[in-house]
Chains A and B, each alone.
Chain A
Amino acid sequence: AAAGLCPCRALLARRGGALRALCGSVRGLAVGPETHFGFQTVTEAERREKIYHVFESVAKKYDVMNDSMTLGIHRVWKDILLHKMNPSPGTLLLDVAGGTGDIAFRFINYVRSAQERQLQRKLKHHQNLSWREISESYQEDKFKSLGDSQVVVCDINKEMLKVGKQKAQHLGYSEGLSWVLGNAEELPFDDDKFDVYTIAFGIRNVTRIDLALQEAYRVLKPGGRFLCLEFSHVSNPLLSRLYDLYSFQVIPVLGEVIAGDWKSYQYLVESIRRFPPQEELKAMIEDAGFFKVDYQNLNSGIVAIHSGFKL
């Protein structure tokens, strides 16, 4: 397809300003029935492959880039997601497209501190036990710091998982954590397995979002919760313009300077614009069978957390 496009491109490049109009009208033609004239219309398979390559190449600099692009604010967004989830010890979490482990590590921290608080409360209440009760407590099972909570990190990209595993080792996370290579559109898990399903900044890269949502429904237990953290649409016009300016002018430059990769970050900002806005995503989640679907905007809609329950 690319070879066929090149002469068109070269041809178009030699014309000057009338180009814009030409591109605009041609775009209108291409959206309907399939056409190869001018654009790079890609098939689903091609899209999956291209996205795989994007994440393969950005994996090593993924975290650095996230911090640079969002000025560290992505950490706050992820913290808010965890607070909304409010997992209690014993929760089984599936984090899809969880690559470098940000959500998984936060989950472990959250559950660990919840468990510690629970333990402290327990100790406070049990100050005046009888000797028999004390001897019985010695026979209890060894105290688990995570309290049976577990998180499974699933990602389609080997490089991202590799970076995640290295991070886990470096930061000292080992208990209650497992890494699985898998596709959100076809998860390698049984039905009704997980208490919570999260997908943070991943669903945008899924080619068939409807399939991913169906799979999420399938693997969640009844009563389980679906949580999606993703870039969304800003309705405020002034903020929207500033956001666009920043996205299109600064982010690809950051990608080139920090990661040596302009194109991947150009893809990123464009994929954000392509993604369905809040209400549309809500409708899609409802279509998959979830109830009580709702969303919460963060930073005026730059990011949104969608939530739904399998009842």
Chain B
Amino acid sequence: MSEMANTDPEGLDGVRMSWNVWPRTKVEASKCVIPLAASISPIRHHPDIPNLPYAPLRCKTCSAVLNPFSRVDFTAKIWICPFCYQRNHFPPHYHMISETNLPGELYAQYTTVQYSLPQNPDPNLGPSPLSPVFLFMLDTCMIEEEMGYVKSALMRAIGLLPENALVGFVSFGTQVQVHELGFSDMSKVYVFRGNKEISKEQVLDQLGLGVARRAGGTGYQKGVPIGFPHSGVTRFLLPAADCEYTLNALLDELETDQWPVPPGSRASRCTGVALSVSAGLLGACSTGTGARIIALVGGPCTEGPGTIISKDLSDPVRSHKDLDKDAAPYFKKAVKFYENLANQLVSQGHVLDLFASALDQVGVAEMKVAVEKTGGLVVQAESFGHSVFKDSFKRVFEEGEQSLGLCFNGTLEINCSKDIKIQGIIGPCTSLEKVKGPAVADTAIGEGGTTAWKLCGLDKSTCLTVFFDLSSSDRSNTPGTVNPLLYLQFLTSYQNPEGQLILRVTTISRGWIDSAVSSEELAQGFDQETAAVVMARLTSLKMETEEGFDATRWLDRSLIRLCSKFGDYRKDDPASFTLNPSFSLFPQFMFNLRRSQFVQVFNNSPDETAYFRMLLNRENITNAAVMIQPSLISYSFNSLPAPALLDVASIAADRILLLDSYFSVVIFHGMQIAQWRNAGYHNQPEHQAFAHLLQAPYDDSQVIIRERFPVPRLVVCDQHGSQARFLLAKLNPSATYNNANEMAAGSDVIFTDDVSLQVFFEHLQRLAVQS
């Protein structure tokens, strides 16, 4: 467990678990309150992961891959699978194996290894079957200014694409326009109406890519102009190098949607059909092609399937309240539509990335399913001119250190020791359902019912939460034979940006513990941060899927039960309550989670909520924890930058605060600082120190912003300014108007009736000790 070092909590394996020691039985596990869950970052980059240029050895019964936990009989050239205990012979090319000559995958420290698989040898796939495909799908229902922004962003992006990447372009508004980039005589566009649902077959047929036609054959098939040897889809998808000029010219001339919008109406925008058409077009790609639809959407879908709101402007877009009251007439239908779309994309192995930029909602809540199931990226901004969009979009295509490492066609398989059941995964993936087995739990959480998942799109930061359960059978009667360790193996195969097929194998082991014997040991294995995130993700899921789910109440009860079980106290004596250090931070996480945008959704639109949750689900534990409980750093003359309490008390007139709540980064100048700055002191040489002080949080914020995708919103504000709310909303309201008189000068108060952390703790202690 060396990887548990604090500096890199996820280590080589990229795995963090809510419990690092597992109780033996299902009953015990349920008493632990916090589920057994592992957060895995399947392809997280780590410099120490060895790359093995050969195919892995698999167990012949359970198909687990050879790993350091396998027992090896060097003389007999046999290895024993730690999962099923099957004895496997090494193949001939391992004949050199010995205790001193181990293959990479058997080194004890290489619990994670990466195999580069040979290229797909199928010659039918053409010269570069694995060139990634980028199909840009651009909304044209927007004002000229926005259009200008998005066009320039697109042009820049196209310039950044690798030369061999195939590019396609679809624009949409009232109708969908598929641009045939390979037509040299003039700009050529296939137009689909926006108000009619269209199946994949129809799309292919109407684009002249029908199955019969792709099959080749006689020279008289319709829709296949001669002179296009690859006819088919290469008319629409061209290598970036070949079509950059065409695309730029096309974008130059592209206008906003020309269909008239009557006053008092929303533009008619057929996002749904556009997605169907795009997906259909990609359906013509040969299987195994990594492809993504990059949808740039500037408003809600109002036309055809997938509509989220009527065109009448007097109809407001659905709110959480509407959803609760079932007063959003389009919602369910739209979700259903996007679900089907998601299934189609998944079956094709393609990704939907959603870049939504609009002041109002665009339907992220409805489209969430398609983005999440395909492992797509999502960015939500107010405008295409906003840095949140611009910089994020650029990052998608950037190469090098900062690159997102967009990979395609991932598949995740999990092998686990006997008696461990997998309930499911929360995160950007889709259950492959068809894979059933003893390791599949009866009840599913998220994408469940399987031991294999499809990740159409995944990147270096993709993170999944796997929920485990234990078999209910009680087999403690054979304690002698019981292995004290449990094993989990995560196999992720994918296609990297260069088109290589990679298989990453992570095998971890954890200890079993009889919790009846020692809850102390169990507590030692508790990972508070992970547990908080797991709880947040689970809560979000339940809020979305369970009718009438009371999140706050459920969280409170869980917390109370946890404290009851692991706290140290005398019954009915709140004052006696203490908590093991392994749990000490957890209540505070829960306090902030209760107040966060994930649980208190009514301050946000459904789109925002969906957006936050998608990111919560796909980010690593550290980042997710920041979403739940922002970090606050204080800058002042008197001391080095230091973390500050997430409390209103941290505000001081002569301080600058830097709040990182993941989605936004706030630089908050105390009153005094703001006055000085306004007076321009920092421009005077004698006040260089002040200039440095001012600059420091900016620099730090840039570090945060640069590493993060999507790029957070940077808010710079002053105490008592209107933007200060971005900070205040996140702080513990220890000082409210109720007790303002008690506060020190220069500090601040928050106008809220929310309970403060102190109050929360008091209640928790009282309830936890109740018998």
Say whether A associates with B: no
B contact residues vs A (CB 8 Å cutoff): none
